[in-house]
């Protein structure tokens, strides 16, 4: 269970990450802050590229950074956009790989949480590791 303080800190960290985004084409900066089960926070920001498909979303940057450091379980992720936009389908799938119960806080640039859900709430009927069991 996330405390009010953890929620606030996570959204503030995602706001900080949003300021680090590289989005010269869409001008849609996204920041993410991922809280591991061990209590460490990993930041991510979207990074665009002139070859559009080669960009990457903030949520995946945060997850990949955490995985590189050995994390596999997450408590929550905060995502900040200018208008409280939700994670794309690819990000939802990547988050689902590591736990459908992960809390998802979606906030606008002012830090107002517009939606609180779980990964399962964002991706009902998710395809996951259990679908590939032998």
- Domains of the chain, by residue range, sit at 4-132
Q: How many CB atoms lie within 10 A of CB 125?
A: 5
Q: How many CB atoms lie within 10 A of CB 104?
A: 23
**pLDDT score of 31 more than 90:** yes
Q: How many CB atoms lie within 10 A of CB 25?
A: 11
Q: What is the pLDDT of residue 134?
A: 66
Give the count of alpha carbons within 13 A of 133, CB side only: 4
Q: Quick one: average pLDDT of 36-41?
A: 97
Distance separating alpha carbons of residues 126 and 100, to the nearest angstrom: 8
Active site amino acids: 59
Q: What is the pLDDT of residue 1?
A: 84
Confidence of residue 15 (pLDDT cuts 50, 70, 90): very high
**pLDDT score of 17 more than 90:** yes
The CATH code that applies to domain 4-132 is: 3.40.140.10
Strand stretches in 5-126, DSSP E: 31-36, 41-45, 74-80, 103-107, 113-118
């Amino acid at each position: 269970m996330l405390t009010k303080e953890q929620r606030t800190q996570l959204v503030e960290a995602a706001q900080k990450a949003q300021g680090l985004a590289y989005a010269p084409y869409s001008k849609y900066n996204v920041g993410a802050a991922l809280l591991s089960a061990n209590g460490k926070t990993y930041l991510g920001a979207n990074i665009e590229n002139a070859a559009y498909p080669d960009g990457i979303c903030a949520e995946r940057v945060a997850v990949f950074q955490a995985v590189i450091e050995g994390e596999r379980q997450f408590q929550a992720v905060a995502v900040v956009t200018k208008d409280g936009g939700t994670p794309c389908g690819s990000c939802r799938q990547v988050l689902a790989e590591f736990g459908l119960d992960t809390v998802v806080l979606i906030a606008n640039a002012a830090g107002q949480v517009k939606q609180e859900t779980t990964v399962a709430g964002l991706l009902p009927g998710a395809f996951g590791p259990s679908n590939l069991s032998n």
